[in-house]
Protein backbone atom coordinates (compact mmCIF):
# COMPACT_ATOMS: atom_id res chain seq x y z
CA UNK A 1 0.00 0.00 0.00
CA UNK A 2 1.38 3.39 -0.95
CA UNK A 3 1.03 6.19 1.63
CA UNK A 4 0.97 9.94 1.09
CA UNK A 5 1.40 11.91 4.32
CA UNK A 6 0.44 15.47 5.16
CA UNK A 7 -2.27 16.07 2.58
CA UNK A 8 -4.06 19.32 3.47
CA UNK A 9 -7.72 20.10 2.91
CA UNK A 10 -7.92 23.86 3.45
CA UNK A 11 -10.72 26.37 3.59
CA UNK A 12 -13.74 24.11 3.23
CA UNK A 13 -16.91 25.92 4.30
CA UNK A 14 -19.12 23.92 6.64
CA UNK A 15 -22.64 23.96 5.12
CA UNK A 16 -25.92 25.09 6.74
CA UNK A 17 -27.51 21.71 6.10
CA UNK A 18 -25.55 18.54 6.78
CA UNK A 19 -23.19 17.80 3.92
CA UNK A 20 -19.78 16.38 3.09
CA UNK A 21 -16.67 18.42 3.95
CA UNK A 22 -14.23 15.60 3.03
CA UNK A 23 -14.27 12.21 1.37
CA UNK A 24 -11.45 10.08 -0.03
CA UNK A 25 -11.35 10.18 -3.82
CA UNK A 26 -9.68 8.43 -6.72
CA UNK A 27 -7.56 5.46 -5.70
CA UNK A 28 -7.56 6.38 -1.99
CA UNK A 29 -8.52 3.41 0.19
CA UNK A 30 -8.49 5.20 3.56
CA UNK A 31 -7.68 8.64 4.98
CA UNK A 32 -6.46 8.97 8.56
CA UNK A 33 -7.14 12.37 10.11
CA UNK A 34 -4.09 13.84 11.83
CA UNK A 35 -5.44 17.35 12.58
CA UNK A 36 -8.67 19.30 12.23
CA UNK A 37 -9.52 22.89 13.09
CA UNK A 38 -12.82 24.73 12.73
CA UNK A 39 -12.97 28.54 12.84
CA UNK A 40 -16.17 30.49 13.42
CA UNK A 41 -15.96 33.61 11.26
CA UNK A 42 -19.48 34.76 12.08
CA UNK A 43 -20.47 37.42 14.58
CA UNK A 44 -22.45 34.96 16.69
CA UNK A 45 -22.06 31.63 18.44
CA UNK A 46 -22.82 28.59 16.27
CA UNK A 47 -23.46 24.92 16.94
CA UNK A 48 -21.04 22.68 15.07
CA UNK A 49 -22.07 19.10 14.36
CA UNK A 50 -19.68 16.60 12.70
CA UNK A 51 -20.05 12.95 11.72
CA UNK A 52 -17.59 10.35 10.37
CA UNK A 53 -19.90 8.48 8.02
CA UNK A 54 -19.00 5.01 6.70
CA UNK A 55 -19.49 3.88 3.10
CA UNK A 56 -23.22 3.42 2.50
CA UNK A 57 -24.11 5.11 5.81
CA UNK A 58 -25.70 8.36 6.77
CA UNK A 59 -25.05 10.82 9.61
CA UNK A 60 -26.70 9.65 12.82
CA UNK A 61 -26.01 9.33 16.54
CA UNK A 62 -23.80 6.25 16.03
CA UNK A 63 -21.21 8.17 14.00
CA UNK A 64 -21.49 11.72 15.37
CA UNK A 65 -18.17 12.88 16.86
CA UNK A 66 -18.81 16.60 17.53
CA UNK A 67 -21.86 18.50 18.79
CA UNK A 68 -20.66 21.70 20.44
CA UNK A 69 -21.01 25.45 20.48
CA UNK A 70 -18.23 27.55 18.99
CA UNK A 71 -18.06 31.21 19.99
CA UNK A 72 -17.75 34.04 17.50
CA UNK A 73 -14.15 34.25 16.19
CA UNK A 74 -13.19 31.06 18.07
CA UNK A 75 -10.88 28.48 16.51
CA UNK A 76 -11.58 24.97 17.72
CA UNK A 77 -8.96 22.26 17.30
CA UNK A 78 -11.05 19.11 17.13
CA UNK A 79 -9.39 16.25 19.04
CA UNK A 80 -12.51 14.15 18.38
CA UNK A 81 -11.46 13.84 14.72
CA UNK A 82 -7.76 13.09 15.26
CA UNK A 83 -7.11 9.39 14.71
CA UNK A 84 -10.41 8.80 12.91
CA UNK A 85 -10.28 6.93 9.60
CA UNK A 86 -12.48 7.59 6.59
CA UNK A 87 -12.70 4.58 4.28
CA UNK A 88 -13.27 4.80 0.53
CA UNK A 89 -16.93 5.70 -0.01
CA UNK A 90 -17.18 7.25 3.45
CA UNK A 91 -17.09 10.94 4.35
CA UNK A 92 -16.77 13.54 7.04
CA UNK A 93 -20.08 15.41 7.16
CA UNK A 94 -20.92 18.54 9.10
CA UNK A 95 -23.31 21.45 9.56
CA UNK A 96 -23.01 24.82 11.24
CA UNK A 97 -26.45 24.84 12.86
CA UNK A 98 -27.87 27.14 10.19
CA UNK A 99 -25.28 29.89 10.62
CA UNK A 100 -24.97 30.48 6.89
CA UNK A 101 -21.73 28.68 6.08
CA UNK A 102 -19.65 30.95 8.30
CA UNK A 103 -17.45 28.21 9.76
CA UNK A 104 -14.37 27.17 7.84
CA UNK A 105 -12.83 23.76 8.43
CA UNK A 106 -9.22 22.76 7.89
CA UNK A 107 -8.38 19.06 7.83
CA UNK A 108 -4.95 17.47 7.42
CA UNK A 109 -4.92 13.79 6.54
CA UNK A 110 -2.57 10.91 5.99
CA UNK A 111 -3.88 9.17 2.91
CA UNK A 112 -3.38 5.54 1.89
CA UNK A 113 -3.54 4.89 -1.84
CA UNK A 114 -3.83 1.53 -3.56
CA UNK A 115 -4.15 -1.84 -1.84
CA UNK A 116 -6.46 -3.17 0.84
CA UNK A 117 -7.27 -1.28 3.99
| Exposed / middle / buried, residue 101 (Cβ in 10 Å: 0-12, 13-18, 19+) | middle
- Taking alpha carbons only, the member of 20, 24, 9 closest to residue 117 is 24
Structural domain total, the chain: 1
**Does a structural domain hold residue 61?**
yes
**Does a structural domain hold residue 117?**
no
The CATH number given to whatever domain includes residue 108 is 2.60.120
**Does a structural domain hold residue 36?**
yes
**Rounded distance between C-alpha atoms, residue 72 and residue 49, angstroms:** 16
pLDDT in tens, the chain (117 residues): 666 666 677 778 888 899 999 888 877 888 889 889 999 988 889 999 999 999 999 999 999 999 999 999 999 999 999 999 999 999 999 999 888 777 787 777 655 555 654
What domain range is 66 assigned to? 3-112
**Does a structural domain hold residue 75?**
yes
What residues have CB less than 8 Å from 62, skipping those under 6 apart?
Answer: none
**Does a structural domain hold residue 96?**
yes
What global pTM score does this model have?
Answer: 0.87
Amino acid sequence: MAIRAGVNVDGVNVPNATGSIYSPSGSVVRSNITAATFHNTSGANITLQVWVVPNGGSPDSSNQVINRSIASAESYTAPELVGQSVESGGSIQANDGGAGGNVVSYVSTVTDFTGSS
